[in-house]
Amino acid sequence: MAIEVLLPKLGLTMEEGTVDEWLVNDGDVISVGTPLLRLATDKIDVDVEAESEGIIARAVPNGTTLAPGSVLGWLLAPGEVAPGEVAPGGATAPAAPSAPGGETAPVALSGRQRVSPNARRVASELGIDVASLRGSGPGGRVVSEDVEESARVQATKVTSPLARRDAIQAGIDVNEVPTDTGYVTRKDVREAISGHGVATPAPSSLAIIPPGQESSSIIPMKGMRGTIAARMVQSLTEMAQLTHGFEVCMDAVVELRGTLKEQYHDFGLQVPSLNDFVVRATALALRKHPILNATITGREIHLLRRIHMGMAVAVPGGLMVPVIRDADTLSIFDLARATRELAESCRAGSISLDALEGGSFAVTSLGTYGVDFFTPVINPGNVGILGVGRLRDSGRWDEERFVKTQVLTLSLTFDHRAVDGAPAAEFLQTIAELLARPLVLLPGA
């Protein structure tokens, strides 16, 4: 059966599109995904991909302007004749497409839009114009799901049916697949899937550049960028996040590190970083405050037995969060080594997917950038993340004497659904107490 190639509707406001240029010739054997033609609209130009395979028969010449849903051509089985049999050889004589009531011959011949009664009912309830919908049902019929999906996405994001199927199979929402064109192709879906299976909700589905502006360069929200975008939006929309700022005294740690540096120097031993001490203290504090080492599933908070620490690592173009498993059992030296190795493999791009999954809490540091307090965003699946600020000089009164101390600010973001303000503060206090007694932090287990 001839499969219609239709002019896609690329946006809510799209009323017509022009066949800028056919990229294939009549009689070409087309496989799925082959770009068939370049379509121009008032906003963007896109390549229309073949959604099925077959032998192409073009129904309209270059330059034809038609409404979305119009038939542009057919994909035929071998030996099959195009419906309506337009004059062969591409010498079609389409009526002036803009003339209303004009004889848009190919469209009229096979263009009756098929809409299920249920789709019509649902569309009228939801106030949606079925004429704007692409049918995904058998024979291209618009079914109620098409209407519902369209209603769900306020700004209709047009997808190729195959892209939609792939997305469904991969368990991702096709409407959140990032696309450069507004038209989601299988390629976009594949890229979204390879971006760790998370799709990006484009911040604005109607990616329109403000009038009077032009892009100097375009950064696709794909791969890692897409993952970050999706995770962060998911995190901030699904959780009740708030952040405590908490100043901790680091004198004891600084002093111990000084001693270690001095004594280790001749042996070439590595001295754990300030951050390593904070991570170690956090891992131990999580043992005492399991509510922060938890995950929320549906209506349940699951306290997790094992403490797998996510470590935010900045890499060019983004950020990764490798995971140190059973971080609470490691000595600070093992922890330091694991941290270093993971950070290196992140930067080298050799990190495995396994090492990026399963974190039950995370620590992120902006101290080296001079940041004191900030509001880290919780990795979806966790209920907390600890931000480590800059080590800075401060002072305190010791009796009548003002003494110099060194402090840093911890920024604990927690999910208020699971953790209340006071327990979160107690967790920070535990960390502070541990950092005041850094020898406790040296051994593992």
Partner 1 sequence: MNTRELTYVKAFNEGMHQIMAEDPDVFLIGEDVAGYGGVFHMFDGLLTAYGDRRVKDTPIAEQAIIGVGVGAAARGLRPVCDLMFMDFIGVAMDQIFNQAAKMKYMFGGAVSVPLTITTAGGAGMSAAAQHSQSLEAWLAHIPGLKVAMPASPYDAKGLIVGAIRDDNPVIVVLNKKMLGVKGPVPEELYAIPLGVANVVQEGDDVTIVAIGRMVLEATKAAQALGEEGISAEVIDPRTVQPLDIDTIVTSAKKTNRVLIVHEAVQFGGIGAEISSQVQESAFDYLDAPVTRLAAPFAPVPYAPILENAYIPDAARIAAAARQLVERS
Report d(CA 135, CA 158) in Å as an integer. 11
Minimum CB distance to partner 1 smaller for 83 or for 140: 140
Position 51 contacts partner 1 (CB under 8 A): yes
Minimum CB distance to partner 1 smaller for 64 or for 150: 150
**Considering only residues 34, 64, 70, 116, which one is a binding residue for partner 1 as defined by CB under 8 A?**
116
Spatial CA neighbour of 273 closest among 254, 286, 259, 246: 254
- β-strands 241-249, 309-311 pairing: unpaired
Tokens of 267: 């042996």
x-or-dash pattern for partner 1, window 136-175, by CB under 8 A? xxx-xx-xxx---------------xx--x----------
Q: How many amino acids of this chain bind partner 1 (CB under 8 A)? A: 18
- Residue pair 106/79 in contact by the 8 Å Cβ criterion: no
Q: Name which of residues 411 to 430 contact partner 1 (CB under 8 A).
A: none
Query: Smallest distance from the beta carbon of 52 to partner 1, in angstroms?
Result: 8
Report d(CA 103, CA 93) in Å as an integer. 10
For residue 425, which amino acid is it? A
Would you give the DSSP letter of residue 182? S
Minimum CB distance to partner 1 smaller for 147 or for 418: 147
Minimum CB distance to partner 1 smaller for 6 or for 327: 6
Q: Please name the helix (run of DSSP H) or strand (run of DSSP E) that holds residue 39, with its range, or none.
A: strand 35-40
Position 179 contacts partner 1 (CB under 8 A): no
End-to-end C-alpha distance for the chain, whole angstroms:
69
Minimum CB distance to partner 1 smaller for 114 or for 261: 114
Minimum CB distance to partner 1 smaller for 90 or for 140: 140
- β-strands 158-159, 183-184 pairing: parallel
Spatial CA neighbour of 178 closest among 165, 150, 161, 159: 159
Select the span of 12-20, 112-120, 284-292, 303-311 touching partner 1 (CB under 8 A): 112-120
Position 316 contacts partner 1 (CB under 8 A): no
Minimum CB distance to partner 1 smaller for 3 or for 407: 3
Tokens of 247: 């100043």
Query: Smallest distance from the beta carbon of 51 to partner 1, in angstroms?
Result: 8
Position 121 contacts partner 1 (CB under 8 A): yes
CA 99 to chain CA centroid, nearest Å: 44
Binding site for partner 1 (CB under 8 A): 51, 116-121, 136-138, 140-141, 143-145, 161-162, 165
